[in-house]
A = this chain, B = another copy of it.
């Protein structure tokens, strides 16, 4: 293996200056067809690949997007990464991961330190980090470009997400439409904005249908399977149990189903169960779990596109009149969700 070709190798081979090669690589204008072809050919022959590090250092950009995430579920992160990477690949950007340990006291310093040394051109903030006001403020102040995905967040900074409340409301309406009047709900963790919104949607549907709100039908979970188990035990313990339970995510819903089976209840006969997220498990459970599908890949893709657009926008933002209003990202983009109705709610 010979060491990789550098830009000057290409320049020599094509008989042009280094700068011209750079122009071709970066698709800059003002290079004649002939030269461009000659350079392109040299590039292919030498298998030249520009060094990200050098481009970054010289050009002041790293060609890296950073993904910050807390302890979200694997399937969520997997989908999100797929979406992000699709756009990244198109635009010749790389993705660097940074798992944030939210409980750590110096979490913010950690994050800012990582950003400082990695110098990603933009950051994608996945829930529940997007709900962390202090972190978002720190990012805002640091001047890094960022965007939140799948979370309405704290209202600061741009975001791409679905209308969680509407989705929850629609699913609840579906349950009500199936004849249920005693509806249980398993909330998510209080510090997730989305779990509040889902709860709001649930409540809105109840009141729209004129169903009185019953506090004993509400349990709190933390989005994990085991908390769904606990919640279900609580909800299904009394004599006057709900006939349907809507859990704020699929993992907790599967916990609910677990308990139902243990108690000998049939699904959906004795108990209808609905979840949220359309994780793979919702299809694999028996019976299939009705749930809300977020277009997570699309969210990731969209967020990345906006971020990259914003980045290259900022790059060419040096001269001209400063009079025209700064081209900030449109603050939020709402994507459509989809109800996945499966056997767990169909009598």
Instruction: Give Cα A73–Cα B225 distance, bound, in whole angstroms.
Output: 19
- List chain B residues, Cβ under 8 A from A116: 4, 47, 49
Q: Mark each residue of chain A from 247 to 264: 1 if its CB lies under 8 Å from any CB of chain B, else 0.
A: 000010011011001000
Task: Decide yes or no whether A324 CB sits under 8 A from chain B.
Answer: no
- List chain B residues, Cβ under 8 A from A82: 99
Chain B, residue nearest A254 (CB): B284
Q: A53-B119, A74-B77, A85-B97 known; 13 other A-B pairs, CB under 8 Å? A: A1-B141, A52-B62, A54-B57, A64-B96, A74-B78, A78-B78, A94-B96, A254-B284, A258-B286, A261-B286, A261-B287, A280-B281, A281-B281
A52 near B258: Cβ-Cβ < 8 Å? no
Task: Decide yes or no whether A75 CB sits under 8 A from chain B.
Answer: yes
Jot down 12 A-B pairs with beta carbons below 8 A, ordered by A: A1-B142, A49-B113, A50-B117, A53-B53, A74-B74, A74-B77, A77-B78, A81-B97, A85-B97, A94-B118, A255-B284, A261-B286
- List chain B residues, Cβ under 8 A from A79: 74
Highest count of chain B CB atoms <10 Å: which of A1, A141, A281: A281
B57 near A1: Cβ-Cβ < 8 Å? no
Interface size on A, residues (CB 8 A): 49
In the complex where A75-B75, A258-B284, A258-B286 touch, is A49 in contact with B1 (Cβ < 8 A)? no
Closest 9 CB pairs of A and B: A74-B78, A49-B116, A53-B56, A254-B284, A1-B143, A49-B117, A74-B74, A53-B57, A74-B75
A280 near B74: Cβ-Cβ < 8 Å? yes
Q: Mark each residue of chain A from 75 to 93: 1 if its CB lies under 8 Å from any CB of chain B, else 0.
A: 1011101100100000000
Task: Decide yes or no whether A283 CB sits under 8 A from chain B.
Answer: yes
In the complex where A1-B143, A57-B57 touch, is A284 in contact with B75 (Cβ < 8 A)? no
- List chain B residues, Cβ under 8 A from A54: 53, 57
Instruction: Give Cα A99–Cα B84 distance, bound, in whole angstroms.
Output: 11
Instruction: Give Cα A75–Cα B47 distance, bound, in whole angstroms.
Output: 36
In the complex where A53-B56, A119-B51 touch, is A283 in contact with B1 (Cβ < 8 A)? no
Kindly report how many copies of this chain are found in the complex they form together: 2
Task: Decide yes or no whether A95 CB sits under 8 A from chain B.
Answer: yes
Instruction: Give Cα A116–Cα B32 distance, bound, in whole angstroms.
Output: 27
Task: Decide yes or no whether A285 CB sits under 8 A from chain B.
Answer: yes
Instruction: Give Cα A278–Cα B101 distance, bound, in whole angstroms.
Output: 24
Q: Mark each residue of chain A from 107 to 137: 1 if its CB lies under 8 Å from any CB of chain B, else 0.
A: 0000011001111000000000000000000
- List chain B residues, Cβ under 8 A from A284: 225, 251, 254-255, 258, 281, 285
- List chain B residues, Cβ under 8 A from A257: 286
- List chain B residues, Cβ under 8 A from A53: 52-54, 56-57, 62, 119
- List chain B residues, Cβ under 8 A from A119: 51-53
Chain B, residue nearest A257 (CB): B286
Chain B, residue nearest A251 (CB): B284
Instruction: Give Cα A254–Cα B280 distance, bound, in whole angstroms.
Output: 11
Instruction: Give Cα A54–Cα B1 distance, bound, in whole angstroms.
Output: 25
